[in-house]
Chain A
Amino acid sequence: DAKTTQPTSMDCAEGRAANLPCNHSTISGNEYVYWYRQIHSQGPQYIIHGLKNNETNEMASLIITEDRKSSTLILPHATLRDTAVYYCIVRVFYNQGGKLIFGQGTELSVKP
């Protein structure tokens, strides 16, 4: 699986957009980008995933560059409840085991 690089921490003002970057320069053609988050001491929570097209759901948007070497998770109007560790995971779609490999992630602090 491709390795990902994320900033260790970021701050964001409440109500503003939070843009969380992820580099995955060694991603291969059959690998998807998944985003999960973990609010303190809780189980990880799925946010969104994509292959090459930009994706949007009720939680966030995922922007993947044309060369697929990086992506950005966008929380359009961050709230205090969005304070969490955000994980970018690159994963082969066809894998029997289905395991997720978590890195250190980005600790996002949303401030009033």
Chain B
Amino acid sequence: EPEVTQTPSHQVTQMGQEVILRCVPISNHLYFYWYRQILGQKVEFLVSFYNNEISEKSEIFDDQFSVERPDGSNFTLKIRSTKLEDSAMYFCASSEAGLGDASGRNEQFFGPGTRLTVL
């Protein structure tokens, strides 16, 4: 069964450093998402991406964050200058269709996550 994969599984970085989290969505999916979960807290939406542009972003997704689909398979989340409060699990997700698109299935499939630790 196809699945979303994420690398690395765990990333440790120093405050102020740049990190890139990588995701390989399911191959025929067109919509991509990043969420994060701080330890013990709720899963929070960060950003959605379709047709090579951001569809929606949350207040968390400030200028320090960016997303990119550099090729036909990868979807990345970059944090330019990490802060201590960026420590969290970051989940990538993808869906065949968006919630506004009735042409396909719109349930989101999540990857296993990358645990980011900022020291």
Contacts and interface: CB of A to CB of B under 8 A. Distances in A.
B112 A98 contact: no
Interface string B100-112: 1000001111111
Contact of A91 (B4, B93, B99): B99
A98 B42 contact: no
Interface string B13-49: 0000000000000000001010100000011110010
The size bracket of the interface on B is 20 to 34
A43 B93 contact: yes
A41 B114 CA distance: 10
B99 A42 contact: no
Which secondary structure dominates chain A's binding surface?
loop
Interface residues of A, number: 24
Contacts of B100: 93-96, 98
9 contacts: A38-B43, A44-B35, A44-B93, A93-B100, A94-B100, A97-B48, A97-B56, A99-B45, A102-B42
